């Protein structure tokens, strides 16, 4: 079952030819912007996809340095919307859209949801933030395009979320993975039985890197299928890649972006199957094409055919953003490795934070975990056992022995948006 059969099943050669045409078109449009006029001054077109590797990269810093209009490649009168990063440090990144860009994005987002099994008789509840953040609005437009009854609840207010689910029989939900776990506390407090009282069957989870263990936990708790979504505001937002019913990697829509994987240190392009940084070139953007944009997301391209029949290659779930890497006493650690271990132990609870501090010139890693009351009714001795088990398994996974601290359920900080899990308390000024 396909949203756009001709595109989703397009044969490889035709897909590659289309990509080449689109890249050349994008180069032409991009050169109308101040940034690319300089950056691409020597390049008018490429003659094969092999030449893509010779095009210059574009980075987040480039976007910031060109604030506010340096990347705009069309007249302002054609632009109907902008999205922007929060910009907590320095200039924010700004992304512009024409009416065509917005419509195209809505279609892509609809394609993603359809691919995962959503249909026009579904009731869609969107718990993502609306506004400058693209997560909410991107799916909202897609859901309406698909024809679902769309409920734009937005983030937070867990009781109201469940009230909507119960009363309107929400069947499809879009939710941050961390929030899905927190929301379940409220489900329990309200004595809601997910099978009896709710009608949920599909969740779209994304916007935060998360482990397979976390997905399984969400599926079990709510008795649903949870599908990974990938996107980034610089490219448009959600919709760039999405899991199909096979749930084995995310189809990256190759009519919309041209993906490459590079070694983040040497910047060389890596063959399919090797893990590295994802680099994307937009293929259909009018207001703001991006050439070889370095996403900082780490993944690999899966080129083997997918059982669903779609010809667009897949990317593996995003294991981390290069920005997320923590260096503890010289060892590289990604937060997702810690999450994976925690989520694989049922008694270990669902909410956690990671603190890094210094003690006697050594880095210390402390993990604060909320105890899961339902799975843990044990004694102090059981608690010690759990602590030892976590320390051992984490040591195996990350190569560093952390300090485990248990805290009461509901006592860790929560936010409406993406969960902030890592708190680096080391003195950076020394």
Residue 7 is a binding residue for Zn ion (CB under 5 A): no
Residue 306 is a binding residue for Zn ion (CB under 5 A): yes
**Angle at the Cα of 248 (from 243 to 254), degrees rounded to 5?**
50
Residue 9 is a binding residue for Zn ion (CB under 5 A): no
Cβ-in-10-Å burial (0-12, 13-18, 19+) of 307 comes to exposed
Contact segment (CB under 5 A) with Zn ion among 72-80, 174-182, 306-314, 327-335 equals 306-314
Contact segment (CB under 5 A) with Zn ion among 119-127, 161-169, 244-252, 293-301 equals 244-252
Residue 106 is a binding residue for Zn ion (CB under 5 A): no
Residue 316 is a binding residue for Zn ion (CB under 5 A): no
Q: What is the torsion angle, in degrees rounded to the nearest 10, for the CA atoms of residue 41, residue 42, residue 43 and residue 48?
A: -160
Size of the site for Zn ion (CB under 5 A): 5
Closest separation between CB of residue 12 and Zn ion, Å?
15
DSSP labels, 176-213: -HHHHHHHHHHHHHTT--HHHH----EEEE-SS---HH
Using the Cα atoms of residue 243, residue 248, residue 254 and residue 258 in order, give the sign of their dihedral: positive
Residue 112 is a binding residue for Zn ion (CB under 5 A): no
Closest separation between CB of residue 6 and Zn ion, Å?
16
Closest separation between CB of residue 120 and Zn ion, Å?
21
Residue 82 is a binding residue for Zn ion (CB under 5 A): no
CA distance 300 to 53: 17
Closest separation between CB of residue 250 and Zn ion, Å?
9
Encoding tokens for residue 216? 């399984």
CA distance 298 to 355: 23
Q: Across the beta sheet with 301-302, what order do the strands follow?
A: 149-151, 123-126, 172-175, 202-205, 225-232, 237-243, 250-252, 314-315, 301-302
Residue closer to Zn ion by CB (options 306, 338) is 306
Encoding tokens for residue 304? 């083997």
Contact segment (CB under 5 A) with Zn ion among 166-174, 275-283, 302-310, 404-412 equals 302-310
Residue 203 is a binding residue for Zn ion (CB under 5 A): no
CA distance 240 to 159: 31
Q: Which of 244, 287, 315, 365 binds Zn ion (CB under 5 A)?
A: 244
Q: Which of 46, 221, 308, 366 binds Zn ion (CB under 5 A)?
A: 308
Closest separation between CB of residue 341 and Zn ion, Å?
29
Name which of residues 246 to 285 contact Zn ion (CB under 5 A): 246
Q: Are 383 and 404 in contact (CB under 8 A)?
A: no
Closest separation between CB of residue 306 and Zn ion, Å?
3
Residue 116 is a binding residue for Zn ion (CB under 5 A): no
Residue closer to Zn ion by CB (options 251, 421) is 251
Closest separation between CB of residue 79 and Zn ion, Å?
35
Q: Are strands 250-252 and 314-315 parallel, antiparallel or unpaired?
A: antiparallel
Using the Cα atoms of residue 307, residue 309, residue 310 and residue 312 in order, give the sign of their dihedral: positive
Q: Which residues bind Zn ion (CB under 5 A)?
A: 244, 246, 306, 308, 310
């Amino acid at each position: 079952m396909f949203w756009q059969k001709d595109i989703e099943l397009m044969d490889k050669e035709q897909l590659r030819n289309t990509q080449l045409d689109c890249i050349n078109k994008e180069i032409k449009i991009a050169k109308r912007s101040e940034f690319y006029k300089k950056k691409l001054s020597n390049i008018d077109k490429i003659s094969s996809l092999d030449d893509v590797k010779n095009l210059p990269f574009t980075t987040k810093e480039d976007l910031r340095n060109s604030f506010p209009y340096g990347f705009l490649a069309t007249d302002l009168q054609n632009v109907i919307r902008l999205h922007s990063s929060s910009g907590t440090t320095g200039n924010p990144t700004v992304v512009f859209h024409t009416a065509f860009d917005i419509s195209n994005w809505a279609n892509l987002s609809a394609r993603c949801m359809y691919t995962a099994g959503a249909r026009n008789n579904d009731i869609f509840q969107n718990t993502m933030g609306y506004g400058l953040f693209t997560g909410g609005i991107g799916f909202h437009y897609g859901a309406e395009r698909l024809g679902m009854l769309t409920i734009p609840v937005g983030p937070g207010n867990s009781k109201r979320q469940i009230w909507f689910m119960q009363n309107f029989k929400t069947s499809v939900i879009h939710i941050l993975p961390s929030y899905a776990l927190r929301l379940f506390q409220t489900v329990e407090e309200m004595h809601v039985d997910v099978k009896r009282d709710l009608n949920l069957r599909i969740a779209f989870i994304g916007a935060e890197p998360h482990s397979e263990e976390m997905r399984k936990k969400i599926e079990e708790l709510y008795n649903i299928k949870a599908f990974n979504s990938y996107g980034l505001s610089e490219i448009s937002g959600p919709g760039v890649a999405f899991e199909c019913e096979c749930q084995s990697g995310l189809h990256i829509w190759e009519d919309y972006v041209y993906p490459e994987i590079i070694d983040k240190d040497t910047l060389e392009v890596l063959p399919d199957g090797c893990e590295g940084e994802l680099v994307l070139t937009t293929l259909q953007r009018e207001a703001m094409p991006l050439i070889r944009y370095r996403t900082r997301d780490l993944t690999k391209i899966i080129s083997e055919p997918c059982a669903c029949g779609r010809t667009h290659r897949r990317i593996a779930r995003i294991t981390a953003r290069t920005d997320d890497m923590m260096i503890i006493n010289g060892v590289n650690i990604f937060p997702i490795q810690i999450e994976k271990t925690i989520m694989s132990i049922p008694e270990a609870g669902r909410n956690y934070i990671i603190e890094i501090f210094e003690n006697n010139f050594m880095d210390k890693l402390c993990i604060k975990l909320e105890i899961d009351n339902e799975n843990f009714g044990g004694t102090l001795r059981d608690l010690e056992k759990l602590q030892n088990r976590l320390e051992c398994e984490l040591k195996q996974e990350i190569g560093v022995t952390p300090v485990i601290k248990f805290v009461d359920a509901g006592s860790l900080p929560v936010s409406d948006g993406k969960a902030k899990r890592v708190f680096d308390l080391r003195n950076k000024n020394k």
